[in-house]
């Protein structure tokens, strides 16, 4: 499964790899909307979220700008997305405190559920002497979220894309991480769920890759990925291979 002798470091994607959202987006938004006087059900929110995401996706990825990003840009794009969701539901643009409440919600441990076996896997990989890290396209909340989840103790490095200045799948973000940790690209393995950003991006930068394909996660870009790319459906598969 993984030839540890060929690696110095293993990096993980965050959302939908290390963990997933606890419940639905609507269930995370709804209590905050209700606290601010909007009686909107999680189901109503869930219907709007994919529409709002589709509208903002190109801006979020910043294709035209070569995937360039910054902490300030991440925040503004996120506010635009949330604003689109709430305007569609209420006809009103949300005020600053509602924005902040929803923003803070997704930096707290209760907003996520850890993937099965992830902590045991991280402990085993750390015991093997590997450098471990996180690289996510999500914003600086990762630096609060991982300590809240208790996962930060397993990692030597935690990067959001804006820490480097480019989003995946840009080669520049992978190169930037390799440079910062002092490890050659070919000595790093990336584990993630997204065919384009994680697998395609990692391969394009010369990293080794492992595609995490959890049950139930739709992957419309899957046909773009070579059948030779190794993949797992549960982290227990990697644990089992390490013990052999």
3-state secondary structure string across 110-153: HHEEECCCHHHHHHHHHHCCCEEEEEECCCCCHHHHHHHHCCHH
Q: Whose structure tokens read 């009686």? A: 39
User: What pLDDT was estimated at residue 221?
Assistant: 55
User: What pLDDT was estimated at residue 10?
Assistant: 98
Question: How far, in Å, CA of 190 to CA of 207, rounded?
Answer: 7
Strand order in the sheet with 208-212: 157-160, 131-136, 9-12, 188-192, 208-212, 231-232
**Domain extents for the chain?**
4-18+115-243, 25-110
Q: Which helix (H) or strand (E) holds 187?
A: none
Q: Which residues of the chain have pLDDT under 50?
A: none
Nearest by Cα to 105 from 51, 8, 36 = 36
Q: Whose structure tokens read 């930068």? A: 205
User: What pLDDT was estimated at residue 12?
Assistant: 98
Quick: pLDDT tens for 76-90: 999 999 999 999 999
Question: How far, in Å, CA of 216 to CA of 235, rounded?
Answer: 15
User: What pLDDT was estimated at residue 222?
Assistant: 57
**Measured between alpha carbons, how far is residue 54 from residues 11, 23, 168 in Å?**
28, 21, 18
User: What pLDDT was estimated at residue 194?
Assistant: 95
Q: Which helix (H) or strand (E) holds 160?
A: strand 157-160
Judge contact between 207 and 189, C-beta under 8 A: yes
Question: How far, in Å, CA of 237 to CA of 161, rounded?
Answer: 28
Token pair listed for 7: 């690696």
- For 61, phi then psi, to 5°, come to -75, -25
Judge contact between 243 and 120, C-beta under 8 A: no
Question: How far, in Å, CA of 49 to CA of 29, rounded?
Answer: 10
Q: Which helix (H) or strand (E) holds 27?
A: helix 25-35
Q: Which fold has domain 25-110?
A: DNA polymerase; domain 1 (1.10.150)
User: What pLDDT was estimated at residue 219?
Assistant: 53
∠ CA 206-212-214, nearest 5°, is: 165
Quick: pLDDT tens for 97-142: 999 999 999 999 999 999 999 999 999 999 999 999 999 999 999 9
| CATH no. for 4-18+115-243 | 3.40.50.1000
> CB neighbours of 47 closer than 8 A, spacing ≥ 6?
none
User: What pLDDT was estimated at residue 41?
Assistant: 96
∠ CA 216-219-223, nearest 5°, is: 135
């Amino acid at each position: 499964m993984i030839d540890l002798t060929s690696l110095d470091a293993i990096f993980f994607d965050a959302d939908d790899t290390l963990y997933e959202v606890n419940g639905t987006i609507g269930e995370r938004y709804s209590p905050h909307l209700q606290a601010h006087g909007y009686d909107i059900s999680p189901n109503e929110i869930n219907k709007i979220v994919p529409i709002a995401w589709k509208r903002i996706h190109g801006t979020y990825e910043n294709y035209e700008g070569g995937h360039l990003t910054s902490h300030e840009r991440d925040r503004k794009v996120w506010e635009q997305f949330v604003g689109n969701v709430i305007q569609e539901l209420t006809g009103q643009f949300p005020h600053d405190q509602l924005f902040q409440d929803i923003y803070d919600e997704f930096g707290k441990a209760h907003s996520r559920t850890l993937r099965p076996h992830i902590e045991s896997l991280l402990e085993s990989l750390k015991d093997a002497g590997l450098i471990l890290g996180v690289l996510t396209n999500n914003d600086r909340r990762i630096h609060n979220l991982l300590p809240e989840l208790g996962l930060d103790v397993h990692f030597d490095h935690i990067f959001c894309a804006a820490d480097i200045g480019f989003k995946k799948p840009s080669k520049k973000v992978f190169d930037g991480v390799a440079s910062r940790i002092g490890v050659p690209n070919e000595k790093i393995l990336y584990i993630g769920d997204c065919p384009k950003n994680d697998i395609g991006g990692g391969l394009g930068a010369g990293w080794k890759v492992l595609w995490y394909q959890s049950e139930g996660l739709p992957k419309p870009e899957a046909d773009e990925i070579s059948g030779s790319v190794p993949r797992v459906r549960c982290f227990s598969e990697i644990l089992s291979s390490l013990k052999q």
